[in-house]
Structure 1
Amino acid sequence: MHRGVWLGAVVGMLLWGGEAEAVRKRAPKRQATVTLAERAVWRAKAWVGLRSLTTVSTTVNDDCSGFTQLAYRKPGLSLMPERTLPGENGVKAIYRKASGLGTLRETPRPGDMVFFRDTHDRNKDGKLNDGLTHIGVVERVGDDGTVTFVHKASGQVKRGRFNLARPDARKDEKGRVLNDWLRRKDKRNRGYLAGELVAGFASVDESWKSTPTRLASSKRR
């Protein structure tokens, strides 16, 4: 079987429920359900290496916010607010909804969303004034504080690392990577590590679901 066909089959299985069974098999017997955070992590891990999200779904943008929306996808639940504001990108819209729901966090946990600022020069002025520009899913938090996250960047779903205690250090004294580059050096900037650009975290739970009232209202429009 060709690698692309095999990968597509695995991705489809994970998106539509197979990942829940995988988590159950690896979870303690006392755990009866799979949380949104656990499912998001399993999906994100399965998609590492994908160059296009269209292998998974064509209903979201093929970018970092679309990737994150797919990771948490569940009937009746959306990361996006009911309305986006003029000039608001997907990352800013998701952050605004998280703020309204009170799910923003200062410290990361596996399964959280992680937000980054100024990862690219969105307004083309060469300055660090673009606000929230990138998002991913926290996969794990190491004992030394180094966080591994999964995101879609540079045309591929990949893993990245950052360390909030040492945000401007590329590696530690033993040569282990603490922070990956998230904004590469160019003629206008020195380049920035992921830890330098972290803007916060948010958990996703059942509060993100649309209420029946909102659903009914949207159908009447």
Structure 2
Amino acid sequence: AGQLISRREEGDVIPAVRVTPDECRDDAPICLLIAPAGKQEFFADGQHSAILNTLLQRGRPALAIDLIGSGDSADMPARSPRNEQDPSFFAFNHSLFSMRVQDILTTITLLREESKRPIVVIAMGEAARAALCALALTTPVKAAALHLTGVGDDSAAWLAPEAFQPLIHKCGGLKGTMLALAPQQELFLFNPATDLSDYAESCYRVADKPQKLHISKDNFLSLLLQAIGV
């Protein structure tokens, strides 16, 4: 079923589709699905449709969302004038990336308020970058399965239009999120860059939580099954 998620007393909305399998236990985790081009990537003919099919076959409900600037919200940034070339623009306005992080936090809050189901965050590609930053800003979810192929953590990656957030890069980038996540958050990382993988392992080892970090380069669906508890 389709729905619109909104923040209290705010004008922004997040298009979403909720899917519940025919057989679903009350304690089954709900999976938040996020992809760079939007929720349609998880449905028929979508690049990641196998993920949703796998979840439904295992009795896991799912909520797929469109981050701002993707899917049904693709034209939202253009509805208000944004002269990002103005030298002072980002001193007074949110970047697209920060709004995407907020979309994820808003959705996690909704899921927590509406039920006691554990939450598993599943994010692909550049959407996983926003998911990592969001997870570092909230209390831990049950697990996060992040497909990190092609997601860089250098200055060039953080200066790209969809990820433009130079202050996050200056404060540690994705590696910095590992420092915040390592003590508590269980992470399942698929194909992270070598430098990020090594740093994550160091953080979880120092936090004495190496068992909460799972890294694979073989098969994302296999990693996903571990994350959802199958």
- TM-score, normalisation: structure 1: 0.29
Structure with more of its chain in helix, by fraction: 2
**Higher relative CO (CA 8 A, sep ≥ 6), structure 1 or 2?**
1
- TM-score, normalisation: structure 2: 0.28
Q: Whose radius of gyration is greater, 1 or 2? A: 1
